Amino acid sequence: MATYDVVVVGAGIIGLASARELLRRHPGLRLTVLDKEPAIGCHQTGHNSGVIHSGIYYAPGSLKARLCVQGARALYAYCAERGIPTERCGKVIVAVDDTELPRLEALYERGRANGVEGLELIGPERLRELEPHCVGVRAIFSPNTGIVDYSQVARAFADEVQSAGGEIQLGHAVQSIFRRPGEVTLETSAGTVRGRHLLVCAGLHADRLAALTGAPREPRIVPFRGDYWVLRTPRRYLVRNLIYPVPDPAFPFLGVHFTRRITDGAVWLGPNAVLAFAREGYRRTDLNPRELAEVLAFRGFQRLAGRYWRTGLEEMVRDYSKRLFLEALQRYVPELVMADLLPGPSGVRAQALDAEGQLVDDFVVNVQEGQIIHVRNAPSPAATSSLAIARLIADQADEAFALPAPARPAGG
């Protein structure tokens, strides 16, 4: 049985981007990507809103801030080279009343500190020019925020991996991992795979795979489902591009917003954020008793729930109430009526949570004993940042795995 130089677990956008980068740096590297699904990008990659984020929201100096700004530039360039459609449609972040103005202005300063280009603070008149049916007292206009189909990007990454001699093995669910010096053995549902080094980009199952290698289980992954409604086609004129709220410090997620899709021009409304009752629980009825019990027994989740129980309860109620969801949307677009909202898709966010109940806000990439790299936390804007995250991971692999020196400069 052949032994690979690097085995990558996870054929989502981060795993594929990282495999691509490693092969660009090290032609001839024996590399394979494993995934338990029958196709690539089946989970977070294939269930996101398709926004190319600008980097405005994230703490200055954080990996999210730096890699999002770098990654967005690299992604636009990559898509242009590969003929993948993108659109710099722009986004408005809207303060609906005066109480939100201090947070809006702080967000503007944060974006400037992060190096986000072209940001403007605008008043109601300019807001009406950009989004005629949106109301607000002031807004941030981010002209370089855009949209793309990340599934198409992931397919392009996969094509490059295979063209460079890498393999993608689907239907390989990892069941156990054994380590010894110079070798990692993975027992999968489709047989045994061996490698000198391992890169784990397992998303919703990142903590489980870490535990299989002997790494700490924490931070834990807690799955949060986000449900969307879709704007009825004749009413799409109500939303030209992207309308976002000012983040609410009383709620650990962003809140409902309006997103135009590049693939078909549809407008997605949402999402909310509620605890998913299974790691891959895309429907309200999806339930995995063992996975749910693990979350409820986790001290970190208990502490998070204790702080945000009221907000969480409101989100759960709104998840089942179209009327309440509509009311949240009407704060920004008052002309919306009940008939405008059609059932839409959903996604599950793999959110890392520590034992104290704090959401792990930044990207987390750990090296385990020079043999394994774990991507422990990579929620939004990971897709936007994928090329920049891949460079970070490849830099760590070059050092930790003692791979040959890069054969040529790593580009985007």
> Tell me: the pLDDT tens digits for 148-178?
999 999 999 999 999 999 999 999 999 999 9
Q: What is the pTM of this model?
A: 0.95
Q: Is the pLDDT of residue 407 over 60?
A: no
- Please tell me the number of Cα atoms within 13 Å of 237 on its side-chain side: 2
**For 37-68, what is each residue's pLDDT tens digit?**
999 999 999 999 999 999 999 999 999 999 99
For the chain, list the domains and their CATH numbers.
1-85+147-219+360-412 (3.50.50.60), 86-146+225-347 (3.30.9.10)
**For 104-162, what is each residue's pLDDT tens digit?**
999 999 999 999 999 999 999 999 999 999 999 999 999 999 999 999 999 999 999 99
- Identify whether the C-beta of residue 53 lies closer than 8 Å to the C-beta of residue 28: no
With 0-12 / 13-18 / 19 or more C-beta atoms within 10 angstroms meaning exposed / middle / buried, residue 265 is exposed
- Identify whether the C-beta of residue 362 lies closer than 8 Å to the C-beta of residue 339: no
**Angle (nearest 5°) at CA 210 between 354 and 366:** 70
Q: How many residues does the chain have?
A: 412
- Identify whether the C-beta of residue 148 lies closer than 8 Å to the C-beta of residue 50: yes
**What would the two tokens of residue 45 be?**
């990659």
- Residues 342-346 have a mean pLDDT of 96
Closest C-alpha among 121, 113, 117, 119 to residue 95: 121
Distances (CA, A) of 90 to 32, 145, 150, 152, 259: 38, 5, 18, 21, 11
